[in-house]
Amino acid sequence: MKKILFLLCISLLIGFTNEVKAQDPAFSQFFANPLYLNPAMAGTNICPRISLNHRNQWPGIGKTYVTYSASYDQYVDKLGGGLGFAVAKDVAGAGNLNTTHISATYAYRLKVNKKLSINAGFEAAYRQLGIDWQNLTFGDMIDPVQGFIYPTNEDIVNYANSKGFTDFAAGFMGFGNANNQFDYYFGFAAHHITMPDQGFIGESRLPMKITANIGASFPLNRFGTYRTNSGNRPKNAAVLSPNLLFQKQQDFMQLNYGVYVLKGPIVGGLWLRQSADNFDAFIVLLGIEQASWKFGYSYDVTISDLNNSNTQGAHELSFAYKLPCRYKGKAFETINCPNF
C-alpha cells in the first residue's frame, strides 16, 4: 500500500499541475563525481581520469531513484586548462521518468603563486527528459473499493513523451597549501544558469542550483599531505580531512558536513546531511585508494521521518581510474582532497 501511495503521489504531481517539480540527484560521494560537482574540477588531476558512479536511493519502496554517471577529464597544456566530458542518467519511478544528461566542460587554470591555484570552469550540456505516460496512474482511475480499475480522462495520447533542451553551468575553485602545514580547497558552482523550460505540457523552469564547498587536509604524520612525483600519496600517509558542502535549488536546501580519515590505502568517512527543516541521514563511507585507482562504497542511514517507511537508505558506489601520463608542462599541483 505504501508503494502504491508513493507512485500515486508522483502521478498526481505530474498529471494535475502540468509541471515537473524536482531537484537534481545528489551524490553522497560528491568528490568522487568531480565534473558533476563543479565544472571547475576538470583537469585537476592533470593526467587523464575516468570516474564512474552509481546511486540507488530508497530501494525499500521500489525502484524510486537510480542514478548513473560516467566522466572523463584531463589537463591539456596547450589549452591552459582541463577538458572534460560526462554523461549521466537518472531513472525515477521504475523508469516512468528518465533524465539523460550529456556535457562538455572546460576549466582554465591560473597559478596565482607557488601556494595557490584557481580554476574557472564552464559547462555546456544537453538534457533530455522522457516519460512513460502509459505506466502512470491518476486519481480518476481509482474505485474506492476495487482500486485502479477505470481509464483516465487525461489526454495522455497527445502528451509529449520526451523533452530536450540545452543547459549551462559555471564555477570556480581554489586550492593551495598553507605554509606546508595543511592543504585547503574551496569552490562555488551554479548549474542551470538559464533555467531552461523542462515542462511536458505547460512551462516548467528548471531551478538554478547553487553549490559551495570548503575543506582541508591535515597530515597526521610527516607523510600526510605530501605526494610523490606521480601525484599519489605515500603508502603510509595518514590524513584527516574535514569538509562542508552546501547546495540550494529553489526552496530545497541541503548541507553535508563530515570528515574523511585516510590511512595508507584505506579511506573512511562519516557525514551528516540535513535540510533546512530536519536531519536527513548519516552517511558512512569505506574506500580503497591505490596509485592508479580508487573505489568507494557509502550507505545513507535515514534518520528523518522517511525511516518509518523502511526506505532502506541509499547505496552508492564510486570508481575512479587514473591513466598514466608524462606531463611536461608547467609545474602544477593536483588538488589534494579525497576523491570520495
CATH code for residues 2-322: 2.40.160.40
Can you tell me the mean pLDDT for 195-206?
A: 89
- pLDDT higher at 210 or 116: 210
- pLDDT at residue 34, rounded to an integer: 94
- pLDDT higher at 1 or 113: 113
Q: In degrees to the nearest 10, what's the CA dihedral of 176, 177, 182, 187?
A: -10
Checking if the pLDDT of 339 tops 80, the result is: no
Can you tell me the mean pLDDT for 249-272?
A: 93
Checking if the pLDDT of 237 tops 90, the result is: no
**Taking all residues of the chain, what is their mean pLDDT, rounded to a whole number?**
84
- pLDDT higher at 159 or 320: 320
Can you tell me the mean pLDDT for 22-50?
A: 91
Can you tell me the mean pLDDT for 23-29?
A: 88
pLDDT tens digits, residue range 134-163? 777 778 888 888 888 888 888 777 777 889
